[in-house]
Chain A
Amino acid sequence: MPVKSFLAMPKEGRFQPMLQALAELPEIEVVAAENRELAVVAWEVENEEEDRRINEAIEAVDDLQCLALVFGHTGICV
């Protein structure tokens, strides 16, 4: 049950297109900052394969400059 959150920063002048592209990915939640060109992105999925697929989809967003992992939980308890 992977749960992750990231900070997403756009390429210059591409904040809105980045938000739109991220919003097209149904599994993720996007919370846009009001006064900075930055968004918080989070998701929770059933397994690592889905997690990998979402990672790939996000990395394919052209307008994304940088994605910084803040929180990661794999669901495996020790």
Chain B
Amino acid sequence: MVSRRSFLKNLALGSAVTAASALFPGISFAADQAVDNDGRLTWKKTPCRFCGVGCGLLVGVSAGRAVAVKGDPASPVNKGLCCVKGYHSVQALYGKDRLTQAKVRRNGKMVDVPIQEALDLIAQKMKETIERKGKDGVSIYGSGQWTIPDGYVASKFFKGCIGTNNVEANARLCMASAVTGFLTSFGLDEPMGCYEDIDHADVFVLWGNNMAEMHPVLFSRLLERRQRSKKTLIIDLATRTTRTSYAADKAMLFKPQTDLALANSIAYELIRTGKINRDFINKHVAFKTGKTNIGYGLEDSFKFNDEAAGSDWEAYKTFLEDYTPEKVEALSGVSAADIRYLAALYGDTNRKVVSFWCMGMNQHTRGTWINNLVYNIHLLTGKISRPGNSPFSLTGQPSACGTVREVGTLTHKLPKGVVMNEEHRKFAAEIWDVPVENISPKPSNHTVDMFRALDRGEIEFMWIQVTNPMVTMPKLQRYRDGAQKEGRFIVVSDVYPTPTTDIADVILPSAMWIEREGLYGNSERRTQYFEQMLQPPGDAMSDTWQLIEVARRMGFQKQFPWSYEEHIEGIWNEYSRFHAGPKHGMAPLDLLKKRPGVMWPFHEGKETKWRYNAQYDPAVKEGNFQFYGKPDGRAWVWLRPYEAPPEVPEKDFPFWLCTGRVLEHWHTGSMTRRIPLLHQAVPKAYAELHPDDAASLGVRDGDTIRLVSKRGSIDIEAAIDKRGRPARGHVFVPFFDEKLLINELTLDAYCPISKQPDYKKCSVRVERL
């Protein structure tokens, strides 16, 4: 029954749409069918489930099923466009082997049980483990695909209630170096700029970032910018020729790890030619040195803490003398002329420059350093925190920023601050309503260490949510074997069977994405809300609610008091208290429900697009710029040298191995491989070889080859000049294929500051079969 009022309003909307169609033939409206949902599609907004760009989608729901997707034209992120994963995203909800029942391992076999029984068992096992091993005997390993409420509840439950800092997330594998880069250079995490920088920039320098495949919608915005402004340049700096390289105005290949030297050489050249912003440096920059020869984390006993020491302009200039373009040409393979060209672009006062990067710089045994060194370039030129001038670290997952970095689901973090700081612990304990003594002042295990501790038996219980470490951990066999040792108890919450559910003792079926209510936070500090649009299948339950159910069983009813209907609102309101104020204020839930995302800091009704710049940022109290994350209000330029990686090609293993992703598949493929169109587009992993290397080995396209490292081997199809072309002496393999686990070969070396592993460099042998 349609009321007279809604009939009139629908008539008004319909009349306006008709009038627009008469004025502009061919015009279409995103939500034109939302006028009436009586038996027709209802369109609802949500951020995309996949990468960290955070595109706004409109999902068409009919008869309780998601049946259509289109880009949300009201979203300032993607302006109505989607990539192939976004357009097919809802099909990931309907794979034939979707997990709908909880399962428990009994006598070696997984058997279906009611989910309440599985939750009882988890609570019992956690209590028993804590009694036997202490609080640090239990752990949780989550994800940058956790919603904000998932991560918040996990942190509160484990750190606040149980009292262990064994809380980690897979963002340690993808974004930790970005975090430590921001913290060491600026004292606060996450980019100072936003995607709107793209609309103002003249030059885009992509540091080891195949944006055309990994962030395709953002890359289309770069291409659009170049089309509108003819002087726009896209520069691709990479170790492999990709679709991004082909679209770039200039592509430069550098040898693995030498991006450190390249960045220093650009700085050297900027200073030599006087293309620096001396006034900005004098007012807003301090110089620091840290430890060198810092190791690679390969040993279980490895420990490292950096120490900043003061430095100065003269020492910095002297330090850079090791990085003349000629010296760096010999090391990196990039010509001195090209290095000077890059420095000229960065130093040109008539050009605005954005640097983008993602895994290439972050999955790096000196990941923190290379982040620091690119910031150095922007600080020397003053090209920072202004529209179109931005160093911009992109994320790979939909809420690596919103959940892992902002909520702080890493061992050392709290929603505001770090566990080591007494004031931060007191603040968290007050909001969480727990004794401050509950929160341990010591970080326990970062991700690699957590899996090592599981292997050694120091951790016996691990709960894994929304991630697939039995595909993604480097040097995989050690951690797979460790997780299956006698006495370990593994709980896995997921939506499909994976190699990680294969090693589980309990599997919980999770509600996926729009089957529950939640929020994500994307790369540009944009928080996005989505409502529950669909009923989850069978017993599937949101990860948030799974955690709450277990926490209550363990006696923490007081800390988790919310009803199911109101728990997301309750969590959001509580979590927002951590960030109140002009530096990190979050938008109220009512506003998030209405808008296609809101950027933080949200203060006095306004978003902050450019932080640290008084023109845009209400937190700046003195001067035109203030890097208020540091006590002295200055950003730090670091003197970080080039240091070689731990493993380089040698006689028995003469090739570099680099791993990564492809456009069509999301991470380990557990969802996108259930989407027939995407699966058929790229049905299996492959090994890219340079055609000259293939010819020397006698390998043709499509032949099966064997890749061997010191840690393992796989047999895989060779791909010659297909999607990308590695440099000579390099192999590239994507990691989405659970049947071809490339991480059997990779090395578990990590950046000693960020503890993020390097998936881009190890040595392998290629054998013709």
Contacts and interface: CB of A to CB of B under 8 A. Distances in A.
Q: Interface size for chain B: under 10, 10 to 19, 20 to 34, or 35 or more residues?
A: 20 to 34
A73 interface: yes
Q: Which of B30, B74, B76 has the most CB of A within 10 A?
A: B74
Q: Which of A20, A32, A41 has the most CB of B within 10 A?
A: A32
A53 interface: no
Contacts of B422: none
Nearest to B75: A16
A51 to B, nearest CB: 13
A52 interface: no
A3 B11 CA distance: 9
Interface residues of A, number: 30
Contact of A1 (B5, B74, B79): B5
Contacts of A1: 5, 8
B13 A31 contact: yes
Interface stretch (B16-24, B46-54, B359-367, B745-753): B16-24
A36 B16 contact: no
Interface string A41-68: 1111000000000000000000000001
Contacts of A34: 28-30, 70-71, 73, 80
Nearest to B28: A34
A13 to B, nearest CB: 9
Nearest to A72: B12
B12 A71 contact: yes
Contact of B15 (A32, A33, A36, A70): A70
Contact of B11 (A6, A16, A40, A71): A71
B73 A5 contact: no
A7 B19 contact: yes
B663 interface: no
Contacts of A70: 12, 15-16, 19
A5 B79 CA distance: 23
Contact of A20 (B26, B32, B76): B76
B558 interface: no
Interface of B is mostly: mixed
B12 A5 contact: yes
Interface in B1-46: 5, 8-9, 11-13, 15-17, 19-20, 23-24, 26-32, 34
Contacts of B31: 31-32
Contact of A16 (B17, B23, B76): B76
Given A40-B13, A44-B9, A31 B30 contact: yes
A29 B13 contact: yes
A40 B74 contact: no
A6 B16 contact: yes
Contacts of B20: 7, 33, 36, 38, 40
Interface string A1-14: 10111110000000
A31 B681 CA distance: 35
A35 B27 contact: yes
Q: Which of A4, A29, A42 has the most CB of B within 10 A?
A: A42
Q: Which of B16, B28, B595 has the most CB of A within 10 A?
A: B16
A44 B594 CA distance: 18
Nearest to A73: B8
Contacts of A5: 12-13, 15-16
Interface of A is mostly: strand
Given A4-B12, A16-B76, A33 B29 contact: yes
Q: Which of B17, B24, B31, B73 has the most CB of A within 10 A?
A: B73
Contacts of A6: 16
A19 B661 CA distance: 35
Contacts of B26: 35
Nearest to B26: A35
Contacts of B71: 34
Contact of B29 (A19, A40, A71): A40
A8 B344 CA distance: 44
A23 B592 CA distance: 11
Contacts of B17: 31, 40
B430 to A, nearest CB: 33
A67 to B, nearest CB: 11
Contact of B12 (A30, A33, A42, A68): A42
A38 B28 CA distance: 10
Contacts of A7: 16, 19-20, 23
A31 B16 CA distance: 10
Contacts of B74: 16, 19, 23, 30, 32
Contacts of B13: 5, 29, 31, 40, 42
Contacts of A4: 12
B248 to A, nearest CB: 26
Contact of B24 (A36, A42, A68): A36
A71 B15 contact: yes
B70 A38 contact: no
Nearest to A38: B20
Contact of A40 (B16, B70, B76): B16
9 contacts: A3-B11, A5-B12, A20-B76, A32-B74, A34-B28, A34-B80, A36-B24, A44-B8, A73-B12
Given A24-B591, A44-B5, A68-B19, 20 more contacts: A1-B5, A3-B5, A3-B12, A6-B16, A20-B76, A23-B594, A31-B29, A32-B29, A33-B20, A33-B24, A33-B27, A33-B28, A34-B29, A34-B73, A35-B28, A36-B20, A40-B13, A42-B9, A44-B8, A70-B19
Can you list the 4 inter-chain pairs with the closest CB atoms, starting with the nearest?
Answer: A5-B12, A5-B16, A71-B12, A40-B16
